[in-house]
Amino acid sequence: FVTKYADVALDHFNFVNNATFKLRYLVNDTFWNEGGPIFFYTGNEGDISLFAENTGYMWETAPEFEALVVFAEHRYYGESMPFGNKSLTDPKYSGYLSSSQALADYVDVINIVKKEFSATDSKVIAFGGSYGGMLASWMRMKYPAVITGAVAASAPIWQFTSMTPCDSYNRITSSVFAEMSPGCDRFIKRSWTSLNTVGSSDGGREWLSAEFKTCTPIKTVEDLKTFKDWLSDLYGILAMVNYPYPANFLAPLPAYPVKEVCSNFRNVGSSDKDILRSLFKGISIYFNGTGTAKCLSLVDSDKLGTESWDYQSCTEMIMPMCTDDTSTMFEKKVWDIDKVSNNCFKQFKVRPSVNLVRDLYGGKNIKWATNIIFSNGLLDPWSGGGVTYNVSKTAIAVLIPGASHHLDLRFSNPKDPVEIIEVRKYYKNVIRRWMGGWATMKKEVKTVFAAA
């Protein structure tokens, strides 16, 4: 692909100033033929190159449609930082980071691309996975004259207050571990007690720091909480990327990494330190699968734009998370919006707008939506907040048994389950229908997935 930069408005929704910044986007015209569609990826929370390298379905489908392929970066991620290093330091800089501003950026990029390639009449099909899938679906809803249809994979557009139970994500994560390796969820549940027991003293926390090789020592009870939060996030990530083949999306991981991690949790001694030694062996598959990590860092990779996402999680992306003491493998966690709000103000000088996403995009009242595929792998923790039933005749849900987080948008692989192979064929048929070519189809493909 060719890397390009578009001058887009800093604020699309006022007429006070005409300030702009440079938004990065990637273009590939290898398969493009005049009259073909534009396949447009609505970039999510990270460096756009990461998603271009992991969204193989677009690349593999483009030749058949003679499509132009475009990946647009989300503002405040990757290289698209409006104020450089100052972008998140103060609300006067960070206040332009929002989903609605990003969608307007994408409209500008599409118009620029159409002009450059004399593609005024080309139809645009939006693609996205996870938050990118949310953006793809919202873009079709908000800009139907620009976007002909959207493939929204693993898009939890209902993972918000009063739409989805706050324990949904953790319940599904626990069930993935239990299904992939019976008893693994119980081991993890037991490990929290061991962490709390050993971590209750200065000497115990020193032992934890040495045993887990943490880059920063676990010195205080607060440090121990940070470590446990990292572990909780790790388990969710492992369930998300539990692909049937080795992959390098968020980390270099083997096939079915949940099963590999859990394989270290069998026949473990009963002492707390025995349990924790086994825990370390298991999680090493994630943080040190290549054997090159010198220590365990609790700081996420910059490629995922963690700080920018933390900001969005403090403004509009308010996704409640909780769990009780008994129904999951996690420690009890209460959702406290007041605490969240205070922490957000302390970090970013902003407070959450809990219902903004619902008010902007319709919440669960989207029967008017058209031409959207909402796909969800049923082993994906985010599927609980996804659209799992048809909301209209052409805004449809596709449920994929045994699949994890947007596996359907990845490059094809010999290890792909048959359900993934068939849904990809189905998507092509739906895209042809969106483009007006459904009548020319010679035959319907038989599908073996569940369509809600």
Q: Is the pLDDT of residue 181 over 50?
A: yes
Q: Confirm whether 24 is domain-assigned.
A: yes
Point out the least confidently predicted range of 88-102, 137-151, 207-221, 435-449: 435-449
The whole-number pLDDT of residue 289 equals 84
User: For this structure, is 130 an active site residue?
Assistant: yes
Catalytic residue among 122, 168, 308, 405: 405
Q: Confirm whether 450 is domain-assigned.
A: no
Quote the tokens at residue 220: 């205080």
Quick check: 124 and 147 in contact, CB under 8 A?
yes
pTM: 0.93
The angle at the Cα of 311, spanning 305 to 315, to the nearest 5 degrees, equals 140
User: Residues 274, 375: one domain?
Assistant: no
Q: Confirm whether 452 is domain-assigned.
A: no
Which tens digits make up the pLDDT trace of 40-71? 999 999 999 999 999 999 999 999 999 999 99
Nearest to residue 88, comparing CAs of 249, 302, 236, 286?
A: 302
> Of 310, 327, 353, which residue sits at a domain end?
353
Nearest to residue 24, comparing CAs of 40, 9, 38, 8?
A: 8
The angle at the Cα of 324, spanning 320 to 327, to the nearest 5 degrees, equals 115
User: Residues 33, 180: one domain?
Assistant: no
Percentage of the chain lying above the pLDDT 90 cut: 90
Q: Confirm whether 62 is domain-assigned.
A: yes
Q: Confirm whether 323 is domain-assigned.
A: yes
Q: Is the pLDDT of residue 190 over 70?
A: yes
User: For this structure, is 405 an active site residue?
Assistant: yes
Which tens digits make up the pLDDT trace of 252-295? 899 999 999 999 999 889 999 999 999 999 999 998 888 888 99
User: Residues 296, 407: one domain?
Assistant: no
Lookup result for tokens 């990845």: 410
Q: Return the number of other C-beta atoms located less than 10 Å from residue 367's C-beta.
A: 12
Q: Confirm whether 446 is domain-assigned.
A: no
Catalytic residue among 130, 278, 383, 404: 130
Q: What is the spatial distance between Cα 153 and Cα 99, in angstroms, rounded to a whole number?
A: 17
Domain of 373, in residue numbers: 2-161+361-435
pLDDT confidence band for 451 (50 / 70 / 90): very low
Quote the tokens at residue 344: 């957000």
Domain containing 253 — which CATH number? 1.20.120.980
Which tens digits make up the pLDDT trace of 348-381? 999 999 999 999 999 999 999 999 999 999 999 9
Point out the least confidently predicted range of 12-16, 270-274, 288-292, 406-410: 288-292
Q: Confirm whether 442 is domain-assigned.
A: no
Catalytic residue among 47, 380, 408, 416: 380
User: Residues 154, 179: one domain?
Assistant: no
Q: Confirm whether 448 is domain-assigned.
A: no
User: Residues 241, 296: one domain?
Assistant: yes
Q: Is the pLDDT of residue 413 over 50?
A: yes
The whole-number pLDDT of residue 301 equals 54
- Pairing type for strands 450-451 and 395-400 reads antiparallel
Q: Is residue 292 packed enough to be buried (19+ CB in 10 Å), middle (13-18) or exposed (0-12)?
A: exposed
| DSSP-based three-state secondary structure for 435 | coil
pLDDT confidence band for 162 (50 / 70 / 90): very high
Domain containing 413 — which CATH number? 3.40.50.1820
Per the structure, the count of domains in the chain is: 2
Percentage of the chain lying above the pLDDT 70 cut: 95
